[in-house]
Structure 1
Amino acid sequence: MSLQPYPSHERSTMDAAPIADIQGNVVSFDGRLDNYRELAEQLGLDAAAASDSEIVICAFQRWEESCFARFTGDWAMALWSGPNRQLYLARDHAGTRTLYFAQTKNEVRWSTFLDALVQTGINRSLSEDYAARYLAQLPMRDLTPYESIHSVLPGHYLRIADGKISRHAHWSALIRETIQYKSEAEYDEHFVSLFRQAVARRTGPGAPILAELSGGMDSTSIVCMSDHMRRMNDPNAEILDTLSYFDDSEASFDERTYFSITEKIRGRVGTHIDIELRNRTFEPHDAAEGLYLIPGADNLTFRKERRFHDTVWLRGFRSILSGIGGDEVLGGVPTGLPELSDHLVFFRWIRLCREAVSWSMVDRSPLALTLARTAVHSSKTFQFQTVNNQKLPPWISTRFRPALHHAKKTLHLGLFSHWGAPSRLDNAMSWWSIMETLPHLFPLILSRPEYRYPYLDKDLVEYLFSIPRAQILRPGRRRFLMRRALAKIVPGEILERRRKAFQLHGPLTALREAADDLQGLFTNSAHVVQRGWINADELRSGLNQIARGDTRHWQGLLRAITLELWLRSSHHTPTLRTANPADALASISSTVP
Structure 2
Amino acid sequence: MCGIAGIFHCATAKPVDPARVERMCDVIAHRGPDGRGVWTAPGVGLGHRRLSIIDLAGSPQPMASSDGRAMLTFNGEIYNYRELREELRALGAIFHTDGDGEVILAAWQKWGVGCLDRLQGMFAFALYDLPSRQLLLARDRLGVKPLFTAALSDGSVIFGSELKALMAHPLLRREVDPLAIEDYLAWGYVPDHRSILAGVEKLPAGHYRLLRHDRPPSPPVQWWDVSFAHRNRGGADDLGAQLLHRLREGVTSRMSADVPLGAFLSGGVDSSSVVALMTEASAKPVTTCSIGFDVSGFDESGYAAAVAERFRTDHHLKMVSPEDWSAVERLPAIFDEPFADASALPTLRVCELARQHVSVALSGDGADEALAGYRRQAFQFREEQVRRIVPSALRGPLFGGAGRFYPKADWAPRPFRAKSTLLALAGSGEEGYARALAVTSPELRDSIYSQSFLRLRGSYRAEQPLIALMRDAPARSGLDRAQYADLKFWLPGDILTKVDRTSMSVGLEAREPLLDHRLMEFAAALPERMRIRGMQGKWLMKQVMRRYLPEPLLLRPKMGFVTPIAAWLRGPLAGEARAIADTSLLSRTGWFDAARLRSLVEAHIAGRSDHSRLIWQMLMLDRSLAGLGVS
Q: Same fold (TM over 0.5)?
A: yes
Return the offset for 1:21.
6.7
Q: Which runs of 5+ in 2 are unaligned?
A: 1-45, 390-413
Is 1:449 the counterpart of 2:449 in the alignment?
no
Residue 247 of structure 1, aligned match among 277, 293, 298: 293
Aligned to 2:336: 293
- SS for the counterpart of 1:270 is strand
Return the offset for 1:72.
1.8
Aligned to 2:185: 135
Return the offset for 1:323.
1.3
- SS for the counterpart of 1:455 is helix
Superposed CA offset, 1:243-270 (max 9, x none): 1111123x33221221121122233452
Alpha-carbon contact 1:339-1:469 (below 8 Å) kept: no
Trace 1:439-518 onto structure 2 (pairs within 5 A).
439-443=498-502, 447-500=506-559, 504=562, 506-513=564-571, 517-518=575-576
Inter-partner Cα distance in structure 2 for 1:465 and 1:180: 13
Inter-partner Cα distance in structure 2 for 1:383 and 1:260: 37
RMSD across aligned C-alpha pairs, in angstroms?
Answer: 4.2
Q: Which has the higher contact order (CA 8 A, sep 6+)?
A: 1
Inter-partner Cα distance in structure 2 for 1:531 and 1:121: 24
Trace 1:205-354 onto structure 2 (pairs within 5 A).
205-230=257-282, 237-249=283-295, 251-268=296-313, 270-280=315-325, 293-295=336-338, 309=352, 311-315=353-357, 317-334=358-375, 336=378
Identity %: 21
- SS for the counterpart of 2:484 is helix
- SS for the counterpart of 2:273 is helix
TM-score (structure 2 length as normaliser): 0.74
Aligned to 2:35: none
Return the offset for 1:78.
0.8
- SS for the counterpart of 2:448 is coil
Inter-partner Cα distance in structure 2 for 1:383 and 1:556: 17
- SS for the counterpart of 1:65 is helix
Inter-partner Cα distance in structure 1 for 2:69 and 2:373: 49
Inter-partner Cα distance in structure 1 for 2:555 and 2:513: 21
Return the offset for 1:221.
1.0
Aligned to 1:186: 238
TM-score (structure 1 length as normaliser): 0.78
Aligned to 2:15: none
Aligned to 2:40: none
One-letter amino acid of the structure 2 residue matched with residue 434 of structure 1: L
Return the offset for 1:449.
1.7
Return the offset for 1:333.
2.7
Inter-partner Cα distance in structure 1 for 2:261 and 2:105: 29
Q: 1:340 to 1:13 in 2, by over 3 A?
A: farther
Residue 491 of structure 2, aligned match among 417, 434, 440: 434
Superposed CA offset, 1:32-61 (max 9, x none): 223445645665448995753444334334
Alpha-carbon contact 2:327-2:345 (below 8 Å) kept: no
Residue 479 of structure 2, aligned match among 404, 423, 444: 423
Deviation larger for 563-572 or 430-439: 563-572
Aligned to 1:160: 211
Return the offset for 1:193.
0.7
Aligned to 1:577: none
Inter-partner Cα distance in structure 1 for 2:545 and 2:360: 25
Residue 71 of structure 1, aligned match among 98, 110, 119: 119
Alpha-carbon contact 1:178-1:468 (below 8 Å) kept: yes
Alpha-carbon contact 1:306-1:446 (below 8 Å) kept: no
Superposed CA offset, 1:490-542 (max 9, x none): 2333223233269x571112223357524641354421121222222211111
Aligned to 2:255: 203
Aligned to 1:18: 63
Return the offset for 1:277.
3.8
Deviation larger for 86-95 or 376-385: 376-385
Aligned to 2:139: 91
Aligned to 2:52: 7
Superposed CA offset, 1:405-459 (max 9, x none): 2543234675534663123222110112121222244357962321111111111
Q: How many residues align?
A: 541
Is 1:30 the counterpart of 2:75 in the alignment?
yes
Return the offset for 1:226.
0.5
Inter-partner Cα distance in structure 1 for 2:366 and 2:146: 18
One-letter amino acid of the structure 2 residue matched with residue 18 of structure 1: M
Alpha-carbon contact 1:285-1:569 (below 8 Å) kept: no
Deviation larger for 318-327 or 411-420: 411-420
